[in-house]
């Protein structure tokens, strides 16, 4: 695990692909939480519990937000309860700025814009969320800003920067599917998509995060691209 920033309040790490943030009831041993417990035992009582799919309550020391198992990049860990509450409030008020980079199928026509589509549950697959017609359950407001970084017409792929204004589960993956440009190699939301550019996992990276410390000082942290992103960039055709 790579530390990108650390002080007495917070640790910002670069999460690798293939790692859950916390146990989801499947007895996963190698998680961000297990790393926190081993590296920062003093953080054990910071934060709050979360109910997993089995109905069990599990603790997630220091964890303020989460990334999907195969999403890489910046993740905040609070080191004190005061810091946890400060960061949690910023997430609730949508004042934390998060930017993701993703390779998506197809060529986005607009250089930038906002995807404004409420998200509910997929009516056919309990694992999925949906921002398309027929979504069931409570539909929650969701907005994602996007900006095109590179277009590759030869490979039929776009590199895009995405900023979720809201924080719904799978939001970026759901919104990109809804506009017919799902994330490359996303096995859940684009199961029939070709694994182009060498990706064996969803091509989504949490590239940067900006937040405020208790002193109101602003901090911005960027996570270097993982190896698969670097190699994919070399394969892009202008």
Active-site residues, by number, are 68
- Beta-bridge mates of residue 51: 57
The residues facing 73 across adjacent strands are 15, 206
Q: If you ran DSSP here, which 8-state letter would residue 182 be given?
A: P
Give Cβ neighbours of residue 211 (< 8 Å, ≥ 6 apart).
76, 87, 90, 96, 97, 218, 219
Cβ partners under 8 Å of residue 168, min gap 6: 119, 129, 140, 142, 174
Which one-letter DSSP state was computed for residue 55? S
């Amino acid at each position: 695990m790579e530390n990108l920033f650390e002080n007495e309040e917070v640790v910002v790490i670069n999460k690798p692909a293939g790692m859950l943030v916390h146990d989801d009831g499947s007895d996963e041993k190698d998680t961000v939480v297990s790393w926190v417990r081993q590296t920062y035992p003093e953080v054990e009582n910071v934060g709050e519990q979360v109910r997993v799919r089995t109905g069990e309550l599990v603790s997630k020391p220091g964890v303020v937000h989460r990334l999907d198992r195969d999403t890489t990049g910046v993740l905040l860990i609070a080191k004190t309860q005061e810091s946890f509450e400060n960061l949690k409030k910023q997430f609730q008020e949508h004042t934390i700025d998060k930017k993701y980079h993703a390779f998506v199928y197809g060529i986005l026509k607009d250089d930038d814009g906002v995807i404004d589509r409420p998200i509910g549950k997929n009516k056919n697959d309990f694992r999925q969320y949906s921002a398309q017609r027929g979504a069931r359950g409570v539909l929650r407001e969701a907005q994602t800003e996007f900006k095109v970084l590179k277009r590759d017409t030869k490979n039929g792929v776009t590199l895009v920067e995405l900023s979720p204004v809201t924080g719904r589960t799978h939001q970026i993956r759901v919104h990109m599917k809804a506009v017919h440009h799902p994330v490359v190699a996303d096995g859940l939301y684009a199961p029939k998509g070709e694994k182009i550019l060498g990706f064996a996992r969803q091509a989504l990276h949490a590239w940067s995060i900006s937040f405020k410390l208790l002193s109101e000082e602003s901090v911005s942290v960027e996570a270097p691209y993982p190896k698969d992103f670097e190699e994919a960039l070399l394969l892009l055709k202008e």
